[in-house]
Each structure stands twice: as structure tokens, then as C-alpha cells.
Structure 1
Amino acid sequence: MNPVHFDSPIDALWIDCHLATMTGEKPYGTIEDGAMAVADGRIVWIGPRRDLPPVAESSARRVYALNGAWVTPGLIDCHTHLIYAGNRALEFEMRLGGATYEEIAQAGGGIVSTVNEVRKATEESLFDQSVRRLAAMQAQGVTTVEIKSGYGLDTQNELKMLRVARRLGAETAVRVCPTFLGAHALPPEYRDRSDDYVALVVEDMLTAVVAENLAEAVDVFCERIAFSRDQTRRIFEAATGAGLRVKIHAEQLSDTNGAALAAGYQALSADHLEYLSADGIHAMAAAQMVAVLLPGAFYFLKETRLPPVAGLRKAGVPMALATDCNPGTSPTTSPLLMMNLACILFGLTPAEALAGFTVHAARALGRDQHIGCLATGKMADFAVWDIQRPAELAYYIGGSPLTMTVKAGVPIKGPIR
């Protein structure tokens, strides 16, 4: 389990800390008074400090004593629409006045209003607006984030968004996993021509995305106000044929059986899921998919239909959490607030909430071989917290007890750039 013998120098040793490894059977995978050794960006030894070989400290180029702090895996936000321009505060007021999500969308608001702002924005402007949101996430322990396109809705602007995502990953201390979401909404110029737009997504946009290697996965919003099952199937066929994994926005407003459709393509995840049926749960379990729950959108839209947490739990479907950071339905950059909402609104335990932003979120991105827990061989991505117990991460409303993040063994303090 811990193969290093400390007969050659290691990069860093982390001691005087408690570890929430998110491994094993017990909640949090706790190791009290633990230690971790890091070399070449990966964890090479982890365990109780009492088991640390005496030579370890002298073998380390740097020793970090954390004064009893708790260490968790770096948080992973596995569903965001972080790149956008402008905001939709006016729609917020409309919604408070009684307008529904669908009524706003049908009136030309919703996603399309953000599309107009993104199309007008330069790549540099999009980067400048988005990097501030990414910095706010990093200040709450995020070391990996998924970023979707989907506010361009034409080839030029979808590529623009994905190039900004690539630049964010290159120029900040947060790992970025880009997802192509060309099938997010129907742009105005394709009104009443949804099949023609899907053809554009498949034949033009996706081809260009693959040519520039701009995405790791393809997402589709399969819903009565978005894209049908047949249209979703066509996009999934093209995506998997191009060697990309798929995921789906499903069962948010109605039961379209989208999760079961995605299961047939071995999708990474189905996200939202308030209207997920028992058959959908069974299909997800059989396909070993992850359910990504988005309490921010549930709260912001004042939804009343709860996702079937008990059914997912019983079926053994892993439940990830995410901010769903977007300007219309979840304008937040706070994973800690999402943990609290998931516990209060959805009935998750604090341990499940933390697993939702670590080990299960990693699986939802297909990255669980490298990140998501603290274990030998994993990337040394972790967050250090000034707390007495891990449940505090879901307990407090507002603020952040983070003292530092570490990505690939490198401590990150202050600005992420």
C-alpha cells in the first residue's frame, strides 16, 4: 500500500494533520494524526503518523506541519457553465414575480439571452470575466472544474468558449475538464428548425471541436424545452463515434427517460434528475453511471420535486454534487454552500456531501484513476481546512475555512494566477 522506502529524497512531507481520505468503508476515511509524502506530484505514502518511518522527515525536501488542520482531497466541481458574459438578474426579478423557467425561455430570455452576450464578447473579455469566478471557486478548495460550452450555439462561438476553457486550465492553478454542450438550447436563427440545428452540431461543431481537441466529453440538454430523445441519440452516436464520452442534462423538468438513454451509451453521468424514475435509476446503476445532483438550481428555481436520493442510495448509484455555476439558474461559485443545501434540501449526510465533491465527482468526469481521494499513487491534489471535524464543511452557511489548496503537490496560496 505504501511502497516508498524514503531511501531517496521526496518533495514534501505533510504532518500534524488529520486526513479525510474519502477511501474505505467508514465515513470520510478518517486518519487522525496522519501524514502524507509527495513526490513528482503524487502521493507516495499516506497513513497514521506513528507508522511513518523515522527517516521520512530527513528524506523530505520540505516538511509542512499543519497544526492539527484537516486535509481533504481537492474539491472537484463536475458540472459548471462557468464561462459566460453578463448576468440575468432581470430574469431573477421576473421569476420572483411569478414567471416560470419555461415562460422566460419562451419569451426569449433564459439561455438565449446569455447566448447574445457571449456572442458579443471577445475571447479576452470572456476570459477576464470567467477567471474571477474560477478564483472564487479555488478560494473554496476547488482544484478541478468541469466547464461546459453551450452559450455560443454556433460553431465560431462554441469554439471560442472552449478555447477560453483551455486557456483557464493553462493559466490558472485549477485543472479544467472541458465539455462540449452545443445542444444546450435552440438559437434564435434556428427557431422551429431543431433538426437542422442538430445537424449543425453533429456535422460542423463537433467536427471542429474534435479537430482542435477542445473537449473531453459531450453533453446534451434532453428536455421538452430543449432536445428530444431522438436528437440526443443522434448527437451521442456522433460523439461516441469520435471517441468522446457523453453525459446528459436529464429529468430536470419532466421525465423524458433521458438518463436511461444515456446509460445505453455508457455515459459518465446524468445531471439534475428531479424527475428520475425507478427505471432510470436501474439503468444508471447497470451502466455504472454517476448521478450529479445540483441543489443550487433546485433552490434558485424554487423547485418542489426532490431528486430520488433514497432510490439512488439503495441502488448504489454514486451521487456527485456540483455548483452548476451559471447566470440563470445557479449563480454561485460556492461548493461549500452546495454541500449545505444538499444536506438540508436533499437529505444527504455531510459525509455524502463531501464525497459528492470529491470521489464521486472525479468519477463523474472519468478522472477517478488520478484524483478524488487521498491514496498512494493519486495526484497530490488536496485542500487544507481550519476546522475541527469534516462535517463543518457542510455545516457553515457562507465563508470558507480554507487555508490553502495543493495541486499536483504544489501549494497554492492567494491569487490563482
Structure 2
Amino acid sequence: MKADRLLIDCHAATMMEGGAPYGVIEDAAVVISGGRIAWIGPRVDLPPVQAETTERLDGRWLTPGLIDCHTHLVFGGDRSGEFEQRLGGATYEEIARAGGGIVASVQATRAASEDELFVSAMARLEGLKATGVTTVEIKSGYGLDLDSELKMLRVARRIGREGGVRVRTTYLGLHAVPPEHRSDRSAYVDKAVDEILPTAHAEGLVDAVDAYCEPIAFSREEVSRLFDRAQTLGLPVKLHADQLSNGGGAELAARYRALSADHIEYATEAGIAAMARAGVVAVLLPGAFLMLRETQAPPIALLRAQGVRMAVATDCNPGTSPLASMTDALNLACVQFRLTPEEALAGATREAARALGLQDQAGLLQAGRAADLAAWDISRPAELAYWLGKPMLHARWIEGVRS
């Protein structure tokens, strides 16, 4: 067998289901050819291979490259002042209704150039890359007009070309009502559905469509209009659902067979059952839970009982989750939501890939998959969810190329 790269003297947490915890292969070997995993297994079973490059990893652990499946990485400014307000007793809803929150980020994002947005996003991306991320989802939603939304999505695509990560873009059309439409929100919904989404799609800037379904944001009827349009364009949908209240978001996501329903702290048993039937992934966002000092955690026991897949993401954003570390997100998911370390790591690999529609391409160490890998200075996989702030990453590979 001829190959581009051979990795040996390592242990692999393949994240394959149905076998050993974490899908572990002790003393593994990985053969990479044409950007894909050509073979993986115990080194004792390695077939004859002629590799252009052989790397000994000195007993380190390999995992799939981590996937951050929910971020708002591109934005202008920050909202550290609101952080102080919340610590002083103001609620997220009070700040939003007073003109802060998302609308404040809209003003800063509109004022920033594409280059400025790119530079600031790349600084945040470094934290994700340093914690093993090889694929990141990036949402728009801080522009809320045609030019600014397209600007954000173009920056996201540029990050995918120049940032050393794979990028999936999401048009978050219904995130907040922009100031100029505050007295006529229906006009903004019309614009988001009938103008911005079709234009962004025509320019090849959109991989999925998202919305924020909450009393302080958009109704199920408004979201349905956006999702109906997405379906006519052949685009999958995702939903910010049931974060602050039970608004029926989980059921709505299930009705549209969404890739994921994200947050879901207030999702009901009926909503979780609907997600299970529709195959909707639950994306858990412990950074926002921490920063908002929420007390009602997502219904993890119900998700487990119903067999709903659980992903974990940073929700990196300026207002409610200024979190730029994927391994810290794993720790928070375990400590706050009581996930096991194995569930958390699966949530940042196998299940995160599913939440982006990439379940056949990424998220596992398996022959035929993209050779997106991370090597770690750890003694066991649980350490990835155990340490806070400790550098553990040794190397990343995207399509077999070290980056």
C-alpha cells in the first residue's frame, strides 16, 4: 500500500460506537492517502505500507479533529459592558429590550470593514484551533441588512480559505429585529426571507439557515416562513430553540427535520420525543448557560432516554458566550450538565459532525473519512474534559496536512 503519511506509536480514540469506550485502539497506526484515512487499526495488524512520511507520536493520543458546530465567530466590537450590567443584576431580556444585546453588536458589525471583521474573528479562532478544532460553523446574524449579512458571510468563507480550518456557514436571518424595523418587524421578516436569503444563496455563501425562536426574538410563524424558503432553496435548517422559555422550538425544529435544535434548556418531554423521531441533534451550549447564570439545565436525562444525539459547542459570541476554547466547553458540559467525558468528546466530534450534516465525512477516525485529526499530550481521553486552561494539543491535521 502506498500512502502520503503514516502515523504510528500512538493510541486512537476513534469515537466509533458499539465497542470499547471512546472507540479506543491501543498502539494504533493510521495510514493517510489523498487527504483521507486509508487504514486505521492496531499497529500489529498494519499491512505493508510505503509512506512518503512516517511520524512517530511517542505514545500520544489521536482523536478526530474537534468540531465547533455553533459559533457566532464574526462580529464587531464586544459587549463587556453588558457583562458588568448582568453582574449588577440586569437580566439578558432587560438589556435586550433596552436596545442592548444583539442590536448593539449589529451596530458595531455594520460599522466594521470586512478586513476588520476578518482580523478580529481570526484572533478568536486561534483559541479554537489551539484546542483541537479543525471544523467550525460560523453564523451571520449581526448584520441584519443585505450588505452587512453578505459581508459577514464573505468573511466566514474567507476564514475557511485562509484560517486553517474547515468552515460551514449559516445564515442566521432571524436573530433580532434591526433598529430601523422596530416599528414594522414584518417588513424585516419579508426582507430576510425574500431578499437576503435568496441573494446570499445565489452567491454561494450559505450552507444552512438558522433562526432565534423566543418571545424576545421571533415567533414560530415567522421562523416557519424563513424555513419554508430555505427548503425551496434546498438548504438544511437549524434553530436556536427553547433557551429562555418553552416556546415550542424543539417541536418546530422536528417539524422541519432540522439538523439541530440548539440550547433547549426549556424543551419539554414532547419536544424531545419529536426531536428523537425526526433525528434532530441537540446542541448543548454550556458557555451561554454559565455566562447567563441560568439555573434550568437542558433535559439531559430525557435526551438520553429518547436516544437524542447530543453535540457540544462553544456558542462563541460577544454577548452571552465569550468562549473560545473547545476543551473548556467540554469541561463545562460535564460539570454543569453532567455529561460524561465520553459523551462530551463525542459531542465535539461524532455528534457535532451530525449537527452540521457532515456525519459521512468527519467526526470519526475511520477508513474513508477525511484525515482531520488532533494529537494530544494526555494519558487518557477523559483529560480533554478534565483540564481547564491547560495546553494539551500537540498537532492538528486537515486532510492529512499538518496545520
* TM class by smaller structure: over 0.9
Task: Give the distance between the partners of 1:107 and 1:117, measured in 2 at CA.
Answer: 17
Q: Distance in 2 between matches of 1:216 and 1:370?
A: 15
Q: Pick the aligned partner of 2:347 from 341, 356, 364.
A: 356
Counterpart Cα distance in 1 of 2:397 and 2:28: 17
Q: Secondary structure at the match of 1:207?
A: helix
Q: How many residues are treated as equivalent by the alignment?
A: 402
Q: Secondary structure at the match of 1:85?
A: coil
Residue number among 109, 118, 125 corresponding to 1:118 in the alignment: 109
| 1:269 partnered with 2:263 | no
The CA deviation string for residues 83-141 of structure 1, in whole angstroms up to 9 with x for no partner, is: 01111110000000000000000111000001000000001110111111112211110
Counterpart-to-counterpart distance in 2, 1:197 and 1:315: 37
Q: What is the match of residue 24 of structure 2?
A: 30
TM superposition score normalised by structure 2: 0.99
Q: Which amino acid aligns with 2:354?
A: R
**Which whole-Å deviations, capped at 9, do the CAs of 1:252-301 have from their partners, x for residues lacking one?**
00011111112111110000000010011011000001000000000000
TM-score, normalised to structure 1, is: 0.96
Shift of 1:193: 1.8
SS at match of 1:177: strand
Q: Distance in 2 between matches of 1:64 and 1:19?
A: 14
For 1:193 and 1:320, locate their aligned partners in 2 and report how far apart those are by CA, in whole Å: 36
Q: Which of 268, 292, 308 lines up with 1:301 in the alignment?
A: 292
* Aligned residue among 69, 78, 96 for 1:87: 78
| Map of 2:196 onto structure 1 | 205
TM-superposed CA distance for 1:27, in Å, is 2.0
Amino acid at match of 1:20: A
Partner of 2:148: 157
- 2:253 and 2:280 in contact (8 A); partners too: no
Q: Alignment partner of 1:400: what SS?
A: coil
Instruction: Give the distance between the partners of 2:84 and 2:383, measured in 1 at CA.
Output: 33
1:229 is the counterpart of 2:237 = no
From 2, 5, 12, the equivalent of 1:19 is 12
Paired with 1:203 and 1:289, the residues of 2 have a C-alpha distance of: 26
Q: For residues 183 and 237 of structure 2, what CA distance do their matches in structure 1 show? A: 26
> Which one of the candidate residues 306, 323, 326 is aligned to 2:317?
326
Q: Which residue identity lines up with residue 207 of structure 1 in the other structure?
A: P
Question: Which residue among 94, 100, 125 is the counterpart of 1:103?
Answer: 94
Which amino acid is 1:283 matched to?
A
Give the structure 1 partner of residue 39 of structure 2: 45
Deviations 1:48-90 (A, max 9, x none): 001012x22xx11110100000000000000000001111110
Moved more, 345-354 or 134-143: 134-143
Structure 2 residue identity aligned to 1:148: K
Identity in percent: 58
- Please report the RMSD computed on the Cα atoms of aligned residues, expressed in angstroms: 0.7
Runs of 5+ consecutive residues of structure 1 not aligned to the other structure:
1-5, 413-417
1:316 aligned partner, one-letter code: G
Partner of 1:399: 390
